[in-house]
């Protein structure tokens, strides 16, 4: 059965800008408007904007909201302040990852907004509904009613203030948000992102999203596609669900154990993670840098000098900001220590490299 591709409220604008469009996570999305390198650099040095309206928004409300979210989420939401955002995962009982997501603690009691990956909306929603049995909560998938723009880069704050007039957003610190009312409708602005730079994510109605985008475009903000979204998040050491996290890749394997609070009484997948944290784990995610300009790509084998395969590349690029060939790879844990020499098989040749920190690029968040 062929599934019909969805579009975001900004589809017409992307086409009018001449973007190269491609299917992603069930949506027709812009990959690039000009080229990946220029768009990447706009975000690193000035400001760029992404249409991320494909992301999912699910509201959890009800007397058991805190208890329920803490049951399905690896991070600990107890003690969250109103207007705070937390990153974490939802897990299967075996520790495999359902999705990675953001939890927004709302300004009204017993209400949380969960922002999930576009490719996982149907799966996550079904998962949440299933787990909600026995909890006094409502799980409400509002994904179709929200557009989202990510405004990212060192000039994001001044752009938000001068172009959209959101003066109060300048006071936000990393992983906090506040509400605005524009045209009588709610707008959520959080100091979050997926690029390693300072920036904001702006959630609004589809109609308002189109207006914001137009204003930002007229002010000279560089529209950026999913191509550079991937190069930016990769350099900043951030995982992409499907590549570095999946039903087969737990947060412990991905090196994201810090977002899994083992001192919580319980959450789905906790026992499996405890077992993995105790050392019962086969592979770990590492960064690898190679000396050559050849580019390690997802799926290429990671080897020892004698050709024994010990891992596989999950994402790789010739880094635009660092001018180095680097990748994430899942490797047997015996070879995961920093500076371990490893070889990457690229087509017919092998290239020597070594294990390096996954955060390749020094991030610039406003803490």
In the complex, the residues that contact another protein under the rule CB under 8 A are: 31-32, 35-37, 227, 231, 293-295, 297, 317-318, 320, 346-347
Q: Which is nearer to another protein, 177 or 317 (CB)?
A: 317
Contact 23, 74 (CB under 8 A): no
Q: Which of 86, 143, 89, 148 is nearest to 112 (CA)?
A: 86
Nearest alpha-carbon partner for 302 in 340, 256, 338: 340
Residue 229 C-beta: closest distance to another protein, Å: 12
Minimum CB separation of residue 319 from another protein in Å reads 10
Q: Please state the closest distance from residue 314 (CB atom) to another protein, in A.
A: 15
122, containing H or E segment: helix 121-131
- Looking at the Cβ atoms of 76 and 230, the one nearer to another protein is 230
CB of 20 to another protein, least distance (A): 9
DSSP, res 239 = -
Q: Minimal distance in Å, beta carbon 248 to another protein?
A: 24
Residue 87 CA: distances (Å) to CA of 173, 199, 239, 337: 15, 16, 12, 26
Smallest gap, in angstroms, from Cβ of residue 305 to another protein?
21
Q: Residue 32 or residue 246: which is nearer to another protein going by CB? A: 32
Tokens 């990748």 locate to 327
State the Cα torsion 204-193-61-269 to the nearest 10°: 150
Nearer residue to another protein within complex by CB, 38 or 275: 38
DSSP string, 299-352: TPEEE-TT--EEEEEEEEEE-TTT-SEEEEEEEEGGG-STT-EEEEEETTEEEE
Between 106 and 243, name the residue whose CB sits nearer to another protein: 243
Minimum CB distance to another protein smaller for 79 or for 299: 299
Look at residues 155, 215, 180 and name the one whose alpha carbon lies nearest to residue 10.
Answer: 215
Please compute Rg for the chain using Cα positions: 21
Shortest distance (Å) from residue 293 CB to another protein:
5
Nearest to another protein of 204, 326 (CB atom): 326
Minimum distance, C-beta of residue 19 to another protein, in the bound complex (Å): 13
Q: How far is the CB of 24 from another protein (least distance, A)?
A: 13
In the bound state with another protein, the residue whose beta carbon lies nearer, of 281 and 294, is 294
For another protein, the closer of residues 36 and 139 by Cβ is 36
Which CB atom, from 192 or from 231, has the smaller least distance to another protein? 231
Nearest to 113 by CA among 168, 69, 174: 69
Give the torsion sign (CA, 352, 356, 361, 362): negative
Place of tokens 């944290």: 277
CB of 330 to another protein, least distance (A): 20
Instruction: Let me know: does 151 contact 216? Beta carbons within 8 Å.
Output: yes
Structure tokens at 16: 């009018």
- How far is Cα 103 from Cα 108, in angstroms, rounded to an integer? 14
Cβ pair 343, 302 in contact under 8 A: yes
């Amino acid at each position: 059965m062929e599934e019909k591709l969805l579009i975001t409220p900004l589809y017409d604008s992307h086409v009018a800008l001449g973007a190269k469009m491609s299917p992603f996570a069930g949506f027709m999305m812009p990959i690039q408007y000009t080229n990946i390198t220029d768009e990447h650099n706009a975000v690193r040095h000035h400001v760029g904007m992404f249409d991320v309206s494909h992301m999912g928004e699910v509201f959890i409300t009800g007397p058991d909201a805190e208890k329920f979210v803490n049951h399905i989420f690896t991070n600990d939401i107890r003690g969250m302040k109103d207007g705070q955002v937390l990153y974490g995962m939802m897990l299967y009982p075996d520790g495999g990852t359902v999705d990675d997501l953001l939890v927004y603690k709302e300004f009204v009691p017993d209400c949380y907004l969960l922002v999930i990956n576009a490719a996982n909306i149907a799966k996550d929603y079904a998962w949440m509904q299933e787990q909600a049995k026995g909890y006094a909560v409502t799980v409400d998938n509002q994904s179709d009613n929200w557009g989202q723009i990510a405004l990212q880069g060192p000039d994001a704050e001044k752009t938000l203030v001068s172009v959209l007039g959101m003066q109060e957003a300048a006071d936000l610190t990393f992983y906090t948000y506040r509400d605005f009312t524009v045209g009588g409708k709610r707008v959520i602005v959080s100091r979050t992102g997926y690029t390693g730079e300072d920036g904001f994510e702006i959630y609004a109605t589809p109609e308002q999203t189109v207006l914001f985008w137009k204003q930002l475009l007229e002010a000279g903000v560089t529209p950026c596609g999913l191509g550079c979204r991937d190069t930016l998040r990769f350099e900043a050491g951030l995982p992409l669900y499907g590549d570095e996290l999946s039903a087969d890749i737990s947060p412990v394997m991905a090196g994201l154990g810090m977002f899994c609070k083992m001192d919580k009484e319980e959450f789905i997948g906790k026992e499996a993670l405890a077992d993995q944290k105790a050392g019962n784990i086969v592979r770990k995610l590492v960064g690898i840098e190679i000396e050559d300009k050849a580019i390690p790509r997802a799926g290429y084998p990671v080897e020892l000098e004698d050709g024994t395969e010990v891992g596989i590349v999950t994402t790789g690029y010739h880094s635009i900001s660092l001018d180095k060939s680097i990748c994430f790879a899942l490797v047997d844990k015996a070879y995961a220590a920093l500076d371990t020499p490893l070889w990457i098989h690229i087509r017919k040749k092998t290239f020597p490299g070594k294990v390096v920190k996954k955060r390749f690029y020094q991030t610039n968040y406003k803490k």
